[in-house]
Structure 1
Amino acid sequence: MKNVGEQTVNAPLLDDEAVSNWLLQNPDFFIRHARQVEQMRIPHPVRGTVSLVEWQLARQRNHISQLEEEITLLMEHSVANQQLFEQLLALQGRLASADSLEDMLSRLHRWARELGLAGANVRLFSDRWRLNAPSSFTQLALSRHAFEPVRIQRLGKHQHYLGSLNGPELLLLLPQAKQIGSVAMSLMGEQGDLGVLMFSSRDSQHYHTGMGTDLLDHLATMLPALFARWIERV
């Protein structure tokens, strides 16, 4: 016959998992012991202890607060997406109605100026577009070989770069531009192999890492089809 000490040693140990499983299997425990539940105190980092009911209410309030923040964020994103769509639709209409490539580039530049920027510029990779003489668009040509160091240094494996450029880089990409503080630079085409779209600002802090690039994504994909109206692809 086992003595009391042996029975105690062989009794199953209670741990968090065992208690949790038992409560899940016996949900009426809190109903049968409502008074004890009201008397239970939960450690609190500020108030010392709180009742189990207060603790549960606080959890519910926090959950509701998180849901409200998520809903607010979704609404803000919805508004931002609507504004982005309207901007793109208006710009696409303006560019598509251009009478010539020069007119389209001028409209793109004016649109950028309306946003308070220094301007907008496009350079096309010379191995993907027919830009050699007698073409009148030779000023748009950009050697991919000459651009490669800029791509490695500024873009890496990304489609966009937001920040400043040094003197040689500006001379290569924007030879006519003056007092450029920062740029938003995007590779055009789904593969990023058709050219470079650049928006420039005289403010060195205007474009910086961490800014959203949704608008750049859409423009960099949309513009090559418009250029193809006047320039033949290779």
Structure 2
Amino acid sequence: MNEQDIIHYLETHPNFFTQHPSLLKKLTFHHSQKGTISLIEAQLTQQRQQITALTSQLEKFHQLAIQEADIFFASIPLQKKLFQAQDFLSIEKKLDQWAKSYELEGAKILLFTDSWKKTENIPSHNWVDRKAFEIIRLERLGLRQFYLGELSGKEKSLMFLPEELPIGSVACCLLGTKDTHKPTAILLFRSRETQRFHNGQDVSFLKHLVDIVDIHLEKHLSQ
């Protein structure tokens, strides 16, 4: 019997500790700050942390609603979908579906390898090396957070899979720049039309969208 067998057994027998209350009292965990604590205390601590995190997220959304109410309420359908997301891939899938509903080819998120801990459930094509992207940042973005327009073949090959081509134009948005100048991820929208995204377009909605996606990425990837 290995750890997975134990996990599977407990998941399929949720009443196990109810039937063995004495064992529940004996189980303890080592807490980095509190030392040895009981299983029940560990569960309460975890629940408090989840409540604190949720309160923080709600406050962030409240601030977004105050700042630009019209844009905030226009994005509510997408926000509902993202709240239903269970993990990173679910976030990306819902963004992709939402983008396609606006006649775009799709959306994707690239994570910088030095900003997040790599996990097996996030495919390799969702990771990007910061040094490799630096050439694109200098050429296309400079000090800006957004780039709307065309890309060279080499730039496309770094950020997109062969099956995602052909691409006429993109909206490239840097994530995680609110608290630091060092972005943590890239949000990409792609279109086959070369003029769908172009320099000079208003990015007010993209700014709001980036704030929303940032909150959900932090929720699922920082755990």
Q: Which TM bucket (shorter chain)?
A: 0.5 to 0.7
- What is the 5 A alignment of 1:12-161? 84-131=71-118, 134-161=120-147
| Rg larger in structure | 1
Give the match for residue 187 of structure 2. 197
Indicate how the Cα distance of structure 1 residues 221 and 160 shifts in structure 2: closer, same or farther if over 3 A, else same: same
Using the alignment, how far apart are the partners of 1:222 and 1:117 within structure 2?
A: 20
Aligned with residue 216 of structure 1, among 183, 206, 212? 206
Using the alignment, how far apart are the partners of 2:218 and 2:126 within structure 1?
A: 14
Using the alignment, how far apart are the partners of 1:148 and 1:199 within structure 2?
A: 19
Give the match for residue 169 of structure 2. 182
Identity %: 32
Deviations for 1:152-177, whole angstroms, at most 9, x for unmatched residues?
A: 00001111101000111000011241
Using the alignment, how far apart are the partners of 1:143 and 1:93 within structure 2?
A: 31
Give 1:138 deviation, angstroms: 3.4
Give 1:83 deviation, angstroms: 5.2
Give the match for residue 153 of structure 2. 167
SS of alignment partner, residue 86 of structure 1: helix
Indicate how the Cα distance of structure 1 residues 136 and 206 shifts in structure 2: closer, same or farther if over 3 A, else same: closer
Give 1:82 deviation, angstroms: 6.0
Deviations for 1:182-226, whole angstroms, at most 9, x for unmatched residues?
A: 001111121351111111110011111110001111122221221
Instruction: Give the letter for the 1:161 counterpart.
Output: Y
- The number of residues matched between the two structures is 152
Cα-Cα RMSD? 1.9
What is the TM-score with the length of structure 2 in the denominator?
A: 0.63
Give the match for residue 197 of structure 2. 207
Give the match for residue 5 of structure 2. none
Structure 2 unaligned residues grouped into runs of 5+: 1-67
